Structure 1
Amino acid sequence: MSIDLTETSITEAVQRTFDGAEDERVKELFICLVQHLHDFTREVRLTGAEWFKVMDFLERVGKICNPTRQEYVLLSDILGLSVLVDLIHHPGIGSVTDSTLLGPFYVEGRPTAENGSDISGGVAGTPLFFNGRVLDPEGNAVAGARVDTWHSDGEGFYDVQMPERLHGRLAMRALLTTDDEGRFWYRSVAPRYYPVPTDGPCGEILRAANRSPMRPEHLHFWLHAEGFEPLITMLVRRDDPYVDRDAVFGVRRSLVVDFVQRDAGETAPDGTRMDEPFQTVERTFVLARTERALPH
């Protein structure tokens, strides 16, 4: 019955429209979504004027999205949804490296790079040398793992945020491959803390809540290897002023590391005698095996 509905009966009426869904998971998702959405609306007694504001907000979120800016991803991030999905499926058990959210600045088609390369793309900044290693849960090297890495510059901007300055080039991101010992390494520039974009609809939420838009200094990684679960993670600077108040809730204690400050005149990890201060970061990543690759 879908006529003469009441405040309470409309929920079941809408849910019944999904009875014919061939995909049981689709049916489950929409029935639950309708239930919670209707319950929320009844609980807060949403007004017509507020509903119009919500529709306008969602329309503006969509309009500001483009290939290098995903405002819907940012909305998911600042509401904690992105990290919640990750925590449900990757609760952080055993020796496997903790995962966290992807963030809105990952880019397909990033350049490949040889280990030891300078991936800064010519961006000026404090030199940073990263040395990583990828292992399985038993401590064995994972050779041939593909490692995406990307980060901001020393002013907190990603390459896609400054296309005019970089003339459309990608910088501070690359795809590397681990060697026979599971190692990968590169040179770049040190990143910096930065605010998430606040010039769009998501910024309105942060200002309305009087929330900080800041993210702590970090490096992103996305690791893939045959026989292992993909790992999306990041490393956060231990002494960053925003380490305990990330605007998108992405910091996990196990992912906080030292960005070691080195003096001019010291030798960098690649053997270069540096004539300016630089930073070094080291980290071992442990991947989880896929179910079909688990040892018997």
Structure 2
Amino acid sequence: MTAPAFTPEDTGYFTEENSADVVIGRMKTDDARFREVMSAVIRHLHALVKEVEPTQAEWMAAIEFLTRTGQICTDWRQEYILLSDTLGVSMLVDAINNRKPSGATETTVLGPFYVSDAPRYDNGADICLDGKGAPLLVRGRVTDTGGRPVAGALLDVWQTNEDGFYDVQQKGVQPDMNLRGVFRTDAEGRYWFRSVKPRFYPIPSDGPVGQLLDRMARHPYRPAHIHFIVGAEGYEPITTHIFSPDCPYLHSDTVFGVKESLIADYRQVDDPEQAARLGLPNPFWTVESDFVLARPGAVG
């Protein structure tokens, strides 16, 4: 049996000094992008190891951490997304991939609890199925960057309930599809629906990511928000939130998802006649949030 021939790029034997070059030199892939990405991963990983010089025990602790992170993942819980979120990587990837023109609504993380195929509702419907929480009217418009209304835009919305849990975290406790829904804008680009005022909540912290946050002396809380995916034919879709300005965790979101432009103005209304007209108890909260969509490839 003939041994495979080495090429100059193989760079010979592995040493502490040339470690990254040797590993990269062994790649023979024809996929240029894959080679670019893996070369960068290898160089940065080896540079990290050389900088911190981990002990064998520390290296094994890192391996065990990654193992536990994979083991705790389920259909409804993605611990690696939580890890990416809490280290700021998810927001960095989002920023790089969503460089929008001036005036377009800013984006933020999707989060691990999005569910496709939420029920479609007419404007004005109530997405709160468990009857908990302070009643809230959400309304606004979807426009393009020139201020023109976008008719027929779809808004996919979801949030936690009054207890700080998404429906998928409490199967058999919350109704399925509680606080989820899809709405379509009217001819003037308007949308409106009934919900409850969002509350802050902790990300799942009973696993490896929660232990890591504890070691870093960081809390696991996300500030109160409502998720939105907004899209329309001919426009770039956006994944974003609207945040409550009175939340104590607004400036320390554990996943770094808050942007100043996404902090909405929640107002409490004490008006029995208006409440009756809207089908809400009195008093109630209201928030107006407009979304601006850009055309594909728009810059500036």
Under a length normalisation based on structure 2, what TM-score does the superposition of the two structures give? 0.91
- Give 1:277 shift: 2.2
- Give 1:111 shift: 1.6
Question: In the alignment, which residue of structure 1 is the partner of 2:288?
Answer: 282
Q: Does the Cα contact within 8 Å between 1:123 and 1:153 map onto a contact in 2?
A: no
Change in Cα spacing, 1:144 to 1:42, as seen in structure 2 (3 Å) is same
| 1:214 paired to 2:221 | yes
Paired residues for 1:44-123 under 5 Å: 44-91=52-99, 93-123=101-131
- What letter matches 2:16 in structure 1? E
Aligned-partner Cα distance in 1 for 2:72–2:92: 25
| 1:160 paired to 2:168 | yes
- Give 1:235 shift: 0.6
Aligned-partner Cα distance in 2 for 1:228–1:93: 12
Q: Does the Cα contact within 8 Å between 1:266 and 1:273 map onto a contact in 2?
A: no
Paired residues for 1:143-158 under 5 Å: 143-158=151-166
Gaps of 5+ in 1: none
| 1:6 paired to 2:12 | no
Gaps of 5+ in 2: 1-9
Change in Cα spacing, 1:143 to 1:274, as seen in structure 2 (3 Å) is closer
Change in Cα spacing, 1:275 to 1:144, as seen in structure 2 (3 Å) is closer
Change in Cα spacing, 1:272 to 1:146, as seen in structure 2 (3 Å) is closer
Q: Does the Cα contact within 8 Å between 2:154 and 2:185 map onto a contact in 1?
A: yes
Aligned-partner Cα distance in 2 for 1:242–1:3: 53
Aligned-partner Cα distance in 2 for 1:32–1:273: 57
Q: Does the Cα contact within 8 Å between 2:11 and 2:21 map onto a contact in 1?
A: no
| 1:34 paired to 2:42 | yes
Aligned-partner Cα distance in 1 for 2:105–2:264: 13
Change in Cα spacing, 1:261 to 1:23, as seen in structure 2 (3 Å) is same
Q: Does the Cα contact within 8 Å between 2:108 and 2:240 map onto a contact in 1?
A: yes
- Give 1:262 shift: 1.8
Alignment deviations for residues 263-282 of structure 1 (CA, whole Å, 9 cap, x no partner): 262514x8236443211111
Aligned-partner Cα distance in 2 for 1:185–1:65: 35
Aligned-partner Cα distance in 1 for 2:20–2:126: 57
Q: Does the Cα contact within 8 Å between 1:148 and 1:222 map onto a contact in 2?
A: yes
SS in 1 for 2:230: strand
Aligned-partner Cα distance in 2 for 1:197–1:151: 15
- Give 1:254 shift: 0.5
The alignment of Structure 1 onto Structure 2 pairs a total of residues equal to 290
Aligned-partner Cα distance in 1 for 2:234–2:31: 29
* Higher Cα radius of gyration: 2
- Give 1:93 shift: 4.4
Aligned-partner Cα distance in 2 for 1:273–1:107: 27
Under a length normalisation based on structure 1, what TM-score does the superposition of the two structures give? 0.92
